[in-house]
Homo-oligomer: A and B are copies of this chain.
Amino acid sequence: MDEHTDQTRKPRADAVRNRERVLEAAKAVFNAGGPEASLEAVAKRAGVGIGTLYRHFPTREDLFEAVYRREVEQLSEFAEQLKSAKDPVDALRRWLRSGVEFVATKKGMVAALALAVQSGSELHAFSFERLSKAIGSLLDRAAAAGAMRADVSPEDLLRAFFGMCYMHDQPGWQSSVLRMLDVFVDGLRVQPVPKPKARASKAAKPAAKRKR
């Protein structure tokens, strides 16, 4: 009866408890020591053996994913709330700004995501998909309203955003990023101006160091 019609046992209480402990420890350790912190330190802090940690989270990325999934979810939800805002460009700007604050408080997340990107992990795929979808509607709305150029994808935007945030441990990064995001959003607006000067849109290939 109940939900165990498929003859699965109830999960063991100690397993559930330990999983939770590991997660909490990981959060603390990663936030303090960066995403390369020792997994054995995590296990020790959680009060479990290293084997237990690996059973629950076979790879480092699995652990990241479990730790940061919730955060990504939050960011996405905020984007979805903004869908009802009046000015779509302003909504986008607000999302980006709140993203900066978010990053500022969850220091570990960007580093973890950056690492995830490089290893093409699950976390990266999930995060990008989730966030892209959430932002996509903001972008679409703005583009449909003619308030913003339409050739920029949510993925582009995310890359730029997280890229900028990646420098987040230098002094003054926050105001720098905010400044850059303003520039960026300004650039996103549809330009009614084809050429205030020389429009360098043709493939201005620099005479730099190209092979051949």
Contact = CB atoms under 8 A, between A and B. Distances in A.
A204 B159 contact: no
A13 interface: no
Given A97-B205, A149-B183, 6 more contacts: A87-B198, A90-B198, A98-B206, A148-B203, A190-B200, A194-B202
A80 to B, nearest CB: 12
A90 B146 contact: no
A180 interface: yes
Given A179-B156, A180-B160, A143 B200 contact: yes
Interface residues of A, number: 75
B196 A149 contact: no
Contacts of A208: 78, 98, 101-102, 151
Contacts of A156: 176, 179-180
State the oligomeric state as a number of copies.
Answer: 2
A200 B188 CA distance: 12
A182 B160 CA distance: 12
Contacts of A160: 160, 163-164, 180, 184
A1 B180 CA distance: 55
Interface string A82-101: 00000101100111011001
